[in-house]
Structure 1
Amino acid sequence: MTRSKLDPLDELADLLSPFEQRGMDLSLERMQAALAALANPCAGVPAVQVVGTNGKGSIACMIHSGLTAAGLRSGLTTSPHLTSWCERICVNQQQIELAQLRQLLRQLQPVARHHNLTPFEQLITAAMIHFEANALDWLVLEAGLGGRLDATTAHPNRPLIAIGSIGMDHCEHLGNSLTAISSEKAAVIGPGAHVISAPQHDAVTKVLEARCQDMGATLEWVKPLTNEWELGLSGHLQRRNGAVARAALRRMNAFGSAITEEQIRRGLAQARWPGRLQTLHWNHHSVRVDGAHNPDAAEQLALERRDWSESGHQQIWILGIQGHKQAPEMLRILLEPNDEAWIVPVPGHVSWTTDQLSEICPTHAHQLRSASCVEDVLVNLFKNDSGKPKLIPVIAGSLYLIGSLLAEKVLKEP
């Protein structure tokens, strides 16, 4: 694997240690002890916790947007971020100010050191303190990796659990089967909770049903929204995610909220979630970006392709995939016979190389190209393009890759 070099302006480098320094260190006890030491901020505020492999950020975003449209005050935590740590903590669509976040993290340093909190745990703790100061009606908590030992699971008041698509990812931490991964995520379901999910793989369905039965929880299955629903997020997958968000918002009425169907419709239409099947611009040329970084997400992206590309037409892919991801399987899913894929490093992360992928996927080797960065590929693709059809390349493989392109202003909003 290769590690590309990037020296971004890390706003919080002096307060949050690099991931590599700590590695993956999942635990619930540290967070519970830290929150207890802080008098359990927001313990009385109900939360909808969003778990899953793919789509959980979109679901969380749409729920938050629906709450805002209904005039309710809500706090949202998400991860990862694209260009700023502040994206991870929002109140009614407003990101926390960087100065506020820095101040909170500084104040938390003694607690963080005493309880040995990870950077993610520090951010969730900071979010809870920020939310406590804003007198909220609901929290929307997107879990990070897994669920059973996730920092968001330390919140004691999670009557609603919204579940995105569960598939194979982070196998080194969660297990090498859908049953094992599903069990880690389903463990967030507590006694009496209401659980909402769109259709899942059979193995996942069995785990969810068994956990709900054990916990005396109710399980609501929803069908994807029809085309009558206007969504602010692009792609067929969002109709599945939107259905989960809609059901969560409707269920909140059982807890004393007053959310109408019209407010839900407006909230889902107004939702925005950058980096997911989004069209951006490079030097006035259109470029599609998507954060697909595992086989299940690649399957969905391949399905979405049918909307913009006829069968047999060439697609140019620009793929940056972290070294611990299932890149060979993603290639096999995405690449059709006429396609070309440029393999680039994910800035700041150990990444798959063209040589490695060519060796593992020899039938696709002739379709693979190598480049040191995305912009080099775009320059090559669009040089002397007068008279040629206006191809729209797709950049995918990592949200970190997309975030770096936005932060460095290589890609811009239309």
Structure 2
Amino acid sequence: MNPLQPGSSRDDLDDLLPRFDLRGMDLSLQRMQEALKELQHPAAAVPAVQVVGTNGKGSIACFIHHGLIAAGLRSGLTVSPHLLSWCERIRVNDQLITIEELRSLLQGLQPVVTTCRLTPFEQLICAALVHFEAQRPDWLVLEAGLGGRLDATTAHPHRPLIAIGAIGLDHREHLGTTLEAIATEKAAAIPPGSHVVSAAQLPEVQRVLERTAAAVNASLRWVEPLANDWTLGLPGELQRSNAAVARAALEWIGGDASESISVAAMRKGFAAARWPGRLQWMQWQGRRLRVDGAHNPPAAAALAKERCRWRAADQAQSWVLAIQAHKQAPAMLKHLLQPKDQAWIIPVPEHRSWSLEQLQHAAPELAHQLRGAANATEAFHQLEHDGWPQAAPVVAGSLYLIGHLLETHQLQAE
């Protein structure tokens, strides 16, 4: 499954889905609960695994989804964000919702949208659940958008299984300024009596998860990264932890003899998994580069760790970075940049972003390694003028940037 086929373009639903940043972040579970009641609780009878965390949520959801498909079960998946098309966010097995279906659903939801004052993300989750009601999958895989306690996916009433990705410091303006506060917000999604699976977490996060699970009588299983004899369709060593969470989730789903999921099915599904924009090789005018959606300090730390495994790890690395203004860009730079590296700072298209000057002021010890460009193309031309680096450049900082570069055909996936 690859939603980014040649000729794909970003679907225009601006008349129905205003830009997320125009309304601002407005977390509330009550609106979604009221909306789902108005909609007569679509897909309420379909069990869901909800995927929460800071990083790795999309990868975990992708692995679970493909494992379910390989086992012969119908899986309904909703994820965020998308790269090129809103349709990437809603699918059943390998079939993405069509733009015509999504537009029709969103148009039909407008009375509820108005009455309940739904945010764009809430509209999409409602549309996904209505679509799943019609398609009747065996399981839903719901990737939380932000937090957990007040996330739109938490309004789904039948979430017996919670899969947790790495929890770190991000969205502090909405979830809390400490790791414990953020973990508490995310752990609050755990329903009473549910089953929780998680890879290793930082000690503060582990304590919160254990305390929360005990308080709501939920079982909690910790998992270790998968062994190297598992072939994964997603690159990067960190994916072995994400896949381990997915495997434990699938094992729990398969605990019912009627839904038995074999190890062979899991291996097949994990090998088939694809998730664009994550440590992916692409080309600009025939020259190779890597792209990654790392957009916060924990993800930058994970990307820096991956860099140590690359063939050219000891060579100077060129970075092209676009980072939204509300992100912790100085901390990201400190994770990514080694002494000989250079980074081109560019804006995130259509979003408020860190500028070169702001970053030089905020991280003066790295100022001499930073260069500015108006956009990615200008940065690529500068790299070419200086002699394309032997170590492939890395584009990171925002999935919005990667989506824009694909949409405008500046980059081509290999």
- Which residue number corresponds to residue 360 of structure 2? 358
How far apart, in 1, do the equivalents of 2:237 and 2:143 lie? 21
Look up the match of 1:328: 330
Distance, in Å, in 2 between the alignment partners of 1:122 and 1:57 is 19
Aligned match of 2:383 = 381
Counterparts of residues 21-60 of structure 1 (less than 5 Å)? 21-60=22-61
CA contact (8 A) 2:53 2:164 kept: yes
Query: Any conservation in 1 of the 2:330–2:359 contact (CA below 8 Å)?
Result: yes
Please list, as runs of the form range in 1=range in 2, the aligned pairs for 1:227-242 lying within 5 A after superposition.
Answer: 227-242=228-243
Amino acid at match of 1:411: L
Measured at CA, do residues 241 and 9 of structure 1 come closer, stay the same or move farther in structure 2, by a change above 3 Å?
closer
Give the match for residue 284 of structure 1. Answer: 286
Give yes or no for the alignment of 1:99 onto 2:100. Answer: yes
Aligned counterpart, 1:162: 163
Looking at structure 2, the residues matched to 403 and 362 of structure 1 have their Cα atoms a distance apart, in angstroms, of 30
Aligned positions of 1:262-301 closer than 5 A = 262-301=264-303
Q: Aligned to 2:260, which of 258, 261, 276?
A: 258
Deviation at 1:312, TM superposition (A): 4.2
- Secondary structure (helix, strand or coil) at the match of 2:332 reads helix
Is the contact made by 1:74 and 1:140 (CA closer than 8 Å) also made in structure 2? yes
Contact 2:193 2:216 in 1 (8 A): yes
Q: Aligned with 1:403: secondary structure?
A: helix
Shift of 1:391: 3.3
2:4 aligned partner? none
| Separation (CA, whole Å) in 1 of partners of 2:336 and 2:311 | 13
- d(CA) in 1 for partners of 2:259, 2:109: 33
Does structure 1 conserve the Cα–Cα contact (< 8 Å) formed by 2:312 and 2:391?
no
Could you tell me which of 320, 337, 340 is aligned with 2:339?
Answer: 337
DSSP 3-state at the match of 2:255 = helix
1:264-319 CA-partner distances (Å, limit 9, x unpaired): 00000000000011111111111100000111001100000012255541000000
Unmatched segments (≥5 aa) in structure 2: 1-8
C-alpha displacement of 1:141: 0.1
Counterparts of 1:390 and 1:303, CA distance in 2: 20
Give runs of ≥4 in structure 1 deviating > 3 Å: 309-312, 388-391
Question: Per the alignment, in what secondary structure is the counterpart of residue 266 of structure 2?
Answer: helix
State the 1:135 CA deviation. 1.4
Name the CA shift for 1:305/1:38 in 2 (closer, same or farther; >3 Å): same
One-letter code of the match for 1:229?
W
> 1:259: Cα distance to partner?
1.1
Corresponding position: 1:401 with 2:401: yes
Alignment match, 2:16: 15
Q: Deviations over 1:361-386 (max 9, x none)?
A: 1111111000001111112212474x
Partner deviation per Cα, 1:391-414 (whole Å, 9 max, x = no partner): 310000011111111111111112
Residue 152 of structure 1 corresponds to which residue in structure 2?
Answer: 153
In 2, Cα distance between equivalents of 1:148 and 1:391: 42
Q: Over aligned residue pairs, what C-alpha RMSD do you find?
A: 1.3
Alignment CA distance shift 1:343-1:389 (3 Å): closer
Moved more, 388-397 or 96-105: 388-397
1:39-85 CA distance string (max 9 Å, x none): 10111100000000000000001100111111111100000111111
In structure 1, C-alpha distance between the alignment counterparts of 2:175 and 2:87, rounded to whole Å? 28
Corresponding residue for 2:219?
A: 218
Aligned-pair CA distance for 1:9: 5.8
Q: How does 1:137-148 map to 2 (within 5 A)?
A: 137-148=138-149
Kindly provide the amino acid, as one letter, of the partner of residue 102 in structure 1.
Answer: R
CA apart distance, 1:18: 1.9
CA distance in 2, matches of 1:311, 1:235: 14
Task: Give me the whole-angstrom Cα distance separating, in 1, the residues matched to 2:22 and 2:269.
Answer: 40
The answer to whether the 8 Å contact 1:312/1:338 transfers is no
Considering Cα pairs closer than 8 Å and 6+ residues apart, tell me whether 1 or 2 has the greater RCO: 1
Letter in 2 for 1:395: V
CA contact (8 A) 2:10 2:86 kept: no
Equivalent AA in structure 1 for residue 409 of structure 2: K
- Taking only the aligned residue pairs, the percentage that are identical comes to 60
What SS is found at the alignment partner of 1:117?
coil
Q: Say if 1:48 and 1:140, in contact at 8 Å, map to a contact too.
A: yes
Aligned partner of 1:410 in structure 2 is 410
Paired residue type of 1:14? D
Deviation at 1:227, TM superposition (A): 0.6
Aligned length: 405
CA distance in 2, matches of 1:270, 1:202: 33
Asked whether the equivalents of residues 198 and 240 of structure 1 are also in contact (C-alpha less than 8 Å), the reply is yes
Structure-1-length-normalised TM-score: 0.96
Asked if 1 retains the 8 angstrom alpha-carbon contact of 2:383 and 2:389, the reply is no
Residues 209-266 of structure 1 deviation map (CA, whole Å, 9 limit, x = unaligned): 0011001100000000011000000001100000000110111023441211100000
